[in-house]
Amino acid sequence: MRYRHYKGGVYELVCEAVLEADHTPVVVYRGQDGAVWVRPRAAFFETIEVDGRRMPRFAPLDAANGTAPATPPGTAPETTPGKVTGKVSAPAA
């Protein structure tokens, strides 16, 4: 699923994962330039305030036309993307 950051960039949610060190749920996402980012899940889906207006940090995009769906002001969109909790093995030497 694709999301638009409140500053305008478009990102694809790759997966959700768990940080090994402290078991924090995180979101792995990729920018249009190919850069891969990780952010705590709570921060990815939180509602923030910009210029006195509340909005989601990342708003889901409508697949049909690339726009964010209409949501009431001050509410975050409901999402439940898949969750990945498996361990990644190192490649064989």
> Domains in the chain, please, with CATH?
2-60 (2.30.30.320)
The whole-number pLDDT of residue 63 equals 65
Question: pLDDT tier at 88 (50, 70, 90 boundaries)?
Answer: very low
Residues in CB range of 64: below 8 A, 6 or more apart: none
Q: Which two tokens stand for residue 31?
A: 């920018």
pLDDT in tens, 31-48: 999 999 999 999 999 999
Structure confidence at residue 62 (pLDDT)? 77
pTM for this predicted structure: 0.67
The tally of CA atoms less than 13 A away on the side-chain side of residue 68 is: 21
Band the pLDDT of 1: cuts 50, 70, 90.
Answer: very high
Name, in order, each residue with C-beta under 8 angstroms of 16's C-beta and a sequence gap of 6 or more: 25, 26, 27, 28, 41, 81, 82, 83, 84
Q: What is the pLDDT of residue 84?
A: 43
H-state helical runs in 6-53: 41-44
Instruction: Check pLDDT > 70 for residue 83.
Output: no
Both tokens of 29, joined, read 């996402």
